[in-house]
């Protein structure tokens, strides 16, 4: 077992190299960050903020966000975690959920089914952006809970 000391911003952490490969952060044990799946996408160029949900918690999250749905027509989204963490899942890629935390927002591409999975205490919001480029054909039957916030 080897302990490595380091800093992450103002947070002190110790990494325990063992079979379980865990990290000790302020006395709590977490999976190492290398096991996290973060998205590296950015909002499209020219995206303009069109609306945002209120901040929601694991107890107040809009139920439609937890179910299979799409972003509002003609909009892309940005899942922003203010505190805690959650997972974002593309319905056509269920085996690769994306981790989302305050340092790692998720760009929600239009016309692609997805849902959010709450994994513990969290405060989050979804921002919606208009795009300058055409999205092509829109799915008229898609559930779009975000449309109420733009």
pLDDT tens per residue, range 79-136 = 999 999 999 999 999 999 999 999 999 999 999 999 999 999 999 999 999 986 655 6
In sequence order, the β-bridge partners of residue 2 are 17
CATH 2.60.120.10 domain locations along the chain: 48-149
pLDDT of residue 104: 96
Q: Tokens at residue 14, please?
A: 């110790």
Q: Which residues contact 51 (CB under 8 A, 6 or more apart)?
A: 127, 128, 149, 150
pLDDT of residue 142: 76
pTM exceeding 0.75? no
Distance CA 74, CA 85 (A): 27
Q: Tokens at residue 10, please?
A: 């103002």
pLDDT of residue 88: 98
Share of the chain above pLDDT 90, in %: 57
Q: For domain 48-149, which architecture applies? A: Sandwich (2.60)
Confidence of residue 14 (pLDDT cuts 50, 70, 90): very low
């Amino acid at each position: 077992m080897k302990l490595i000391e380091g800093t992450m911003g103002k947070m002190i952490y110790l990494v325990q190299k063992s079979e379980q490969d865990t990290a000790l952060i302020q006395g709590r044990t977490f999976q190492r960050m290398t096991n996290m799946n973060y998205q590296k996408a950015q909002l499209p160029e020219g995206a303009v903020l069109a609306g945002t949900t209120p901040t929601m918690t694991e107890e107040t999250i809009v139920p439609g966000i937890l179910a299979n749905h799409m972003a509002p027509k003609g909009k892309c989204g940005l899942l922003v975690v203010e505190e805690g963490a959650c997972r974002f899942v593309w319905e056509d890629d269920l085996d690769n959920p994306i981790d989302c935390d305050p340092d790692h927002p998720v760009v929600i591409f239009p016309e692609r089914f997805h849902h959010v999975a709450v994994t513990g205490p969290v405060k989050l919001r979804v921002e919606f952006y208009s795009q300058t480029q055409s999205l092509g054909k829109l799915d008229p039957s898609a559930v779009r809970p975000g449309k109420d916030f733009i």
